[in-house]
C-alpha cells in the first residue's frame, strides 16, 4: 500500500442536494415510502444511499482503472474478492495468520477505492480484517418537513398469459409510486487524515471523491427519483491532521433560510444559502466548491 500523497490535513464538509417530484431514498420496510423523521416530518436520506451514489460514479468514471475498483457493487460476491486477495503472492508469502490478514487488508485497500474511502468489514470468509474508512457522512436531512405524495399508475400490459386471462382482455394493471414535491437536504461529512494514512487514501483519491459528490446525480436519473441535484458543497480544510476547530462550529457557518415563509417550498429559489467565511478560526481554509 503506497504512502504517496497521503492526506496530511483534516477536512469537514457540508453537502446540499435537493429532489423535485421524486423519491430520493425509499424505505423498503415501509412500502418504499420516502424516509422521514416520524416526529418532525423532515425527510431523510441514509448515508448508505449517498455512499452508493459515490461508488456508482467512481465505477462509471474510472471504468476499472487500477486502484479504483469498487468492492461493494451491484451483484458482487464479496467473499470472492477476499479470496482473490488471499491468492495474491504478497499474502501467500506470509507465514503467520495475522500477517496474512494484514497483507490481505493492504491488498484490498490498494485495489478498491470504496474500501480506502469508506472502510469495510472483510472477515465474512477468509479473513482480510476490518477497515475503518477516513471518509464518513451523516444522513441527509431536509431543511423543512416533507410531504409524501402517493400516485396511482397504470401499466397497459401484463406479464403472463395467466394474468391476461384473469384481466379478461383488459390488460391494464395498477400500481403506486411515491414522490416528494420538493425537499432540500443537508448532509455533513468528515475526512480523517489519521485514518487515511491507515488505508492509503491520498490526495488523488480526495479529488476523485470531491468530483463524485459534485456529479453523483449526473448519471443517476430514473423515473422514481425525479429531479435530483447537488446544490452546495462547502469544504473546511484544516492545516493539521488533528484539525483546528470543532466540526459543528464550522457547519454552523452554512446557514439556510426560507425566502418566503407564506408558501411551501417548491424549488431551490425558495431558499437562501449563506456561507460565512469571515473571521475563520486560525488554520481553517473555507472552500466553496459548489454554491
Distance between CA atoms of residues 251 and 261, nearest Å: 23
Alpha helices in the chain (DSSP H): 47-62, 78-86, 89-92, 97-111, 113-118, 161-167, 193-199, 203-215, 247-251
Task: Give the model's confidence band at 176: pLDDT under 50 very low, under 70 low, under 90 confident, else very high.
Answer: confident
Q: Averaged over 14-19, what is the pLDDT?
A: 98
Identify the three-state secondary structure at position 84: helix
If one counts every other C-beta atom within 10 angstroms of the C-beta of residue 149, the result is 13
Q: Are 9 and 19 in contact (CB under 8 A)?
A: no
Q: Which residue has the higher pLDDT, 225 or 137?
A: 137
Residue carrying C-alpha cell 466553496? 288
Distance between CA atoms of residues 119 and 109, nearest Å: 9
Reply yes or no on whether the pLDDT at 2 is more than 60: no
pTM, two decimals, is 0.92
Please give the angle made by the CA atoms of 166, 169 and 174, to the nearest 5 degrees: 65
Q: Averaged over 227-243, what is the pLDDT?
A: 97
Distance between CA atoms of residues 202 and 205, nearest Å: 5
Q: Averaged over 85-98, what is the pLDDT?
A: 93
- 30-39, 88-97, 173-182: the lowest-pLDDT one: 173-182
Share of the chain above pLDDT 70, in %: 98
Tens of pLDDT along 147-159? 988 887 777 777 7
Q: Averaged over 157-178, what is the pLDDT?
A: 76
Reply yes or no on whether the pLDDT at 168 is more than 80: no
Tens of pLDDT along 118-144? 999 999 889 999 999 999 999 999 999
Say what angle helices 203-215 and 47-62 make with each other, to 10 degrees: 110
Amino acid at each position: 500500500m503506497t504512502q504517496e500523497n497521503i492526506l496530511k490535513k483534516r477536512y469537514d464538509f457540508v453537502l446540499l442536494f435537493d429532489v423535485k417530484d421524486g423519491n430520493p431514498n425509499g424505505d423498503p420496510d415501509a412500502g418504499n415510502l420516502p424516509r422521514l423523521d416520524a416526529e418532525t416530518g423532515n425527510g431523510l436520506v441514509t448515508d448508505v444511499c449517498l455512499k452508493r451514489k459515490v461508488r456508482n460514479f467512481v465505477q462509471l468514471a474510472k471504468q476499472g482503472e487500477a486502484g479504483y475498483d469498487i468492492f461493494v457493487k451491484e451483484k458482487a460476491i464479496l467473499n470472492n474478492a477476499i479470496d482473490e486477495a488471499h491468492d495474491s503472492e504478497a499474502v501467500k508469502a506470509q507465514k503467520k495468520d495475522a500477517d496474512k490478514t494484514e497483507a490481505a487488508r493492504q491488498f484490498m485497500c490498494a485495489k478498491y477505492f470504496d474500501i480506502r474511502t469508506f472502510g469495510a468489514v472483510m472477515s465474512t470468509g477468509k479473513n482480510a480484517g476490518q477497515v475503518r474508512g477516513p471518509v464518513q457522512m451523516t444522513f441527509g436531512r431536509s431543511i423543512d418537513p416533507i410531504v409524501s405524495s402517493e400516485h396511482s399508475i397504470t401499466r397497459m400490459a401484463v406479464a403472463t398469459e395467466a394474468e391476461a386471462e384473469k384481466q379478461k382482455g383488459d390488460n391494464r394493471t395498477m400500481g403506486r409510486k411515491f414522490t416528494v414535491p420538493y425537499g432540500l437536504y443537508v448532509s455533513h461529512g468528515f475526512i480523517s487524515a489519521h485514518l487515511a494514512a491507515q488505508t492509503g487514501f491520498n490526495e488523488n483519491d480526495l479529488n476523485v471523491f470531491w468530483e463524485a459528490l459534485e456529479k453523483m446525480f449526473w448519471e443517476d436519473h430514473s423515473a422514481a427519483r425525479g429531479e435530483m441535484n447537488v446544490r452546495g458543497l462547502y469544504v473546511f480544510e484544516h492545516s493539521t491532521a488533528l484539525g483546528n476547530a470543532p466540526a459543528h462550529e464550522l457547519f454552523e457557518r452554512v446557514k439556510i433560510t426560507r425566502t418566503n415563509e407564506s408558501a411551501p417550498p417548491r424549488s431551490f429559489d425558495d431558499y437562501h444559502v449563506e456561507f460565512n467565511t469571515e473571521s475563520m478560526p486560525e488554520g481553517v481554509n473555507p472552500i466553496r466548491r459548489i454554491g
